[in-house]
Amino acid sequence: MALYTSAYASTCLLFLAPLLVTLALKINSLVGIDRAPRNLALVAGVGALLAMFANPFFGHLSDRTSSPLGMRRPWMVAGLVGGSLGVLVVALAPNVPVVLAGWCIAQLSFNALLAVMVAVLPDQVPASQRGLVAGVLGVCVPLASVTGTFLVKLFTGNQVAMFLAPCAVGGFFILLFVVTFDDRRLDPADKPAWSPREVTSTFYVNPRKAPDFAWAFASRFMFVLAYAFLTTYQAYYLLEKIGSAEADVPRQIFLGTLVQSLVVVVAAPLGGRLSDWTGRRKIFVLTASTVYGLALFVIALAGDVNGFLVGMAIAGLGFGMYMAVDLALVADVLPDTDNAAKDLGVLNIAGALPSSIAPAVAPAILAIGGGSYGFLYAVAGVCALTGALAILPVKRVR
């Protein structure tokens, strides 16, 4: 469990370090604060769109991989190496089109890694322990967020090091897990043949045949959309609404992430363990989404950094409980355990698509709100509350 947790946290680190700080600052250094939001919307949106397709695609390939090294291991290595190269391209980019190209490479590769890393949960963890393990994994996102923002802050002033330090640290723990875990193996004779229907199913789960999975998808989509609004525009929120100096933004994001993470570290394992003990999932997901929505309203109304930090602490409670129990809930309602990575890849569309939609619609929301990032975060709060309601129709779990 320790090795899996560290590898999963490292995978999150690879994604979050650029999204939380460095990608926004890189684009800001190239085009300036006035043009940065639109250019960030382009880069983050296109990258997330690729991620939406890459995750289920590579998950499906993993389910069909009959390598002597196992089903998941080859994709972990390929995803780590390819993604790190993409991040290097972003760090050295002289203009926004090169940033876009590098980020697309990173998103494709890192999503191959993420797809197989998530599949380890249903592969190897029995249903009676999934809440506990998912709760431990729920700590990985805040842990990765704190580590990423700390590494970026540590190398402030050296842009290449700001991008590559998270790759170096995360890559070490991922490779450690790769060489030690007991991977599943698929006999070549059991590998199904390709067909047009088989390819189409890579990106789709029939909601009529799996309604619980469809509602879980909708709930996660709305929750992650709220999260995407917060993380993507956090730097600009601090610059414009709070009035922070650009040099202070990395430190303030680090503090906000740290405060949130301290709460998540307590809430995620506790929520997961209570979910296993009570045999219930839905009430925890419902409560978590509601708390997260309220936290976003607090951030929207904040007038200084202290108010922002209070909102982030409340967000940690909702985020920790949600990420712990929702993953266990999803593992319990998977349509086909033999294609766990593919189905989890489809679910991860709900984690990738919002990162494309949020920057695409945020300029319009900001225009309606008169450029107010407080208004943007209020809309994000409504999204989280909608995600809470979407979990109610699920029937296979209590």
Q: How large is the average pLDDT for residues 264-272?
A: 81
pTM (predicted TM-score)? 0.67
Q: How confident is the model at residue 109 (pLDDT cuts 50, 70, 90)?
A: very high
Q: What is the DSSP string of 281-330?
A: -HHHHHHHHHHHHHHHHHHHH--SHHHHHHHHHHHHHHHHHHHHHHHHHH
Average pLDDT, the chain: 82
State in words which class domain 2-181+204-390 has: mainly alpha
Question: Distance (Å, rounded) from C-alpha 27 to C-alpha 35?
Answer: 9
Task: Domain ranges for the chain, please list them.
Answer: 2-181+204-390
Confidence grade of residue 223 (pLDDT, cut at 50, 70, 90): very high
Residue 240 burial class via C-beta count within 10 angstroms: exposed 0-12, middle 13-18, buried 19 and up: middle
Structure tokens belonging to residue 65: 């991989």
CA distance 345 to 355: 15
For the cut 60, the answer to whether the pLDDT of residue 198 exceeds it is: no
Going by C-alpha positions, the residue among 359, 351, 369 that lies closest to residue 222 is: 351
User: What pLDDT score was predicted for residue 191?
Assistant: 64
Residue 192 has pLDDT above 70, yes or no: no
Q: What is the DSSP letter of 182?
A: -
Which helix (DSSP H) or strand (DSSP E) does residue 79 occupy? helix 73-92
Furthest-apart CA atoms within the chain: distance in Å: 63
Q: What percent of the chain has pLDDT over 90?
A: 21
By residue count, the chain amounts to 398
**pLDDT at 195 exceeding the cut of 70:** no
Dist. CA 37–CA 359, nearest whole Å? 8
pLDDT at 339: 61
User: Helix 305-332 to helix 211-232 angle, to the nearest 10 degrees?
Assistant: 160
Tokens of 95: 């203009």
Rounded Cα distance between 388 and 352, Å, is: 19
Structure tokens at 92: 């050295």
- Give ∠ CA 6-12-14 in degrees, rounded to 5: 105
User: CA–CA separation, 94 vs 45, rounded Å?
Assistant: 20
Residue 176's pLDDT band, with cuts at 50, 70 and 90, is very high
Provide the 10 A C-beta neighbour count for residue 220: 27
Integer Cα distance of 214 and 209 in angstroms: 9
For the chain, count helices (H), then strands (E).
Answer: 16, 0
H/E segment holding residue 111? helix 96-124
Residue 37 is classified by DSSP as H
Structure confidence by residue, pLDDT tens digits, 48-103: 778 777 877 887 788 777 778 888 888 899 999 999 999 999 999 999 899 999 99
What DSSP letter does each residue of 319-386 carry, written as one string?
A: HHHHHHHHHHHHHHT-S-GGGHHHHHHHHHHHHHHHHHHHHHHHHHHHHHTTT-HHHHHHHHHHHHHH
What are the C-alpha distances in Å from 242 to residues 119, 128, 301?
40, 45, 11
